[in-house]
Structure 1
C-alpha cells in the first residue's frame, strides 16, 4: 500500500514539474482548462514594467527601452520563423499575448488570444504548433534578476 501511495505521489510530482518546466504555447482559454490560468502565473512572475517602478523588474527608462527592443525582436523573430515555416495569415490578425520568462530569457509560457472569427480553428492550431516549436529554443534578448512577464496587444500580417 505504501509503495502504491509513493508511486502515486511521485507520478503527481513529476507531472507537476513537467507541466511547469517546459515551454508552452497556449491560448488563455486552454491555459485556464489546464489549471494554469494567467492570474496564477501572474502570481509567480513579476511584471516586466509597471506604473509603479518598485513593482517592475525593469525599473529605469534605459532598462525599459532595452526591454522594448528585445520584445520587438522577439515578435520579429517569430514572424520570420512563421514565414520560414510557410505560415500565412492571409489577413491581418489582431490579438493579445502574455509571455512568461525565466531570468535567463527562456520562455516558460506564451499565452495568446485572438477574438472569435479572427482565425479558423485550423489556422489557430497551426499557429499554436509553430509558436510552441519557436519558443522551445528561443532566448529573449535580455536577462533579468527574476522571472518576469510581458504582455501586449499584437497585430500580425504577412508583410
Structure 2
C-alpha cells in the first residue's frame, strides 16, 4: 500500500500537468483557478512589439504561417465533426503552447450574444478533443503564447 501511495504522489504532478484545457477566459479564472497573469508569465509572447521579448524573433513569417495552419486545422476538425456555426462568428483566442508544440491552454471569448450557450458548449467539446493531440508546426526553446481575434465561418 505504501508503494502505491508513493507512486501516486510521484506521478500525480505529471498527470496534473498533462491536463489540456479549452475554455472561456471567464471560466478559466472563475472555475479552473487559472490566472491569466501567471500564464502570461509562464508562456513567452510568440510575437511581440519589442522583438527582444518575442519567442519567434526572426521567424515571424514562419510563425504566422504556422498559426494560420493551426486555425485552418481547427476549422477542418470542426467540419469533420459536423460542427456548424450557422453564421460568421467572431471570437478572441489566447493559445498557450508548450515548447514541444502541444497546446496546453486554449482560451476563447465570444462577444456577448454572438453564440448560444449550447453552441459555445459544443465548440468547447470539439476544441478540447482537438487540442488533445494537435501539435503546433513549430517548436521553441520556451513555452509560448499567441492571441488574436478570429472570425469563424462554415465552408
Same fold, judged at TM 0.5 (above): yes
Aligned residue pair count: 149
Q: Structure 1 pair 37/107, CA: closer, same or farther in 2 (3 Å)?
A: same
Alignment match of 1:45 (pick from 30, 43, 46):
43
Cα deviation digits, residues 21-52 of structure 1 (max 9, x gap): 22210100110011113222101100001111
Deviation at 1:59, TM superposition (A): 0.7
Alignment match of 2:98 (pick from 90, 102, 105):
102
Task: Provide the aligned C-alpha RMSD in A.
Answer: 1.9
Deviation at 1:18, TM superposition (A): 4.3
Alignment match of 2:52 (pick from 54, 57, 65):
54
For 1:118, the equivalent position in structure 2 comes to: 114
Report the TM-score, using the length of structure 2 for normalisation: 0.89
Alignment match of 2:17 (pick from 16, 20, 45):
20
1:45 and 1:148 in contact (8 A); partners too:
yes
Segments of structure 1 that go 5 or more residues without pairing to the other structure are none
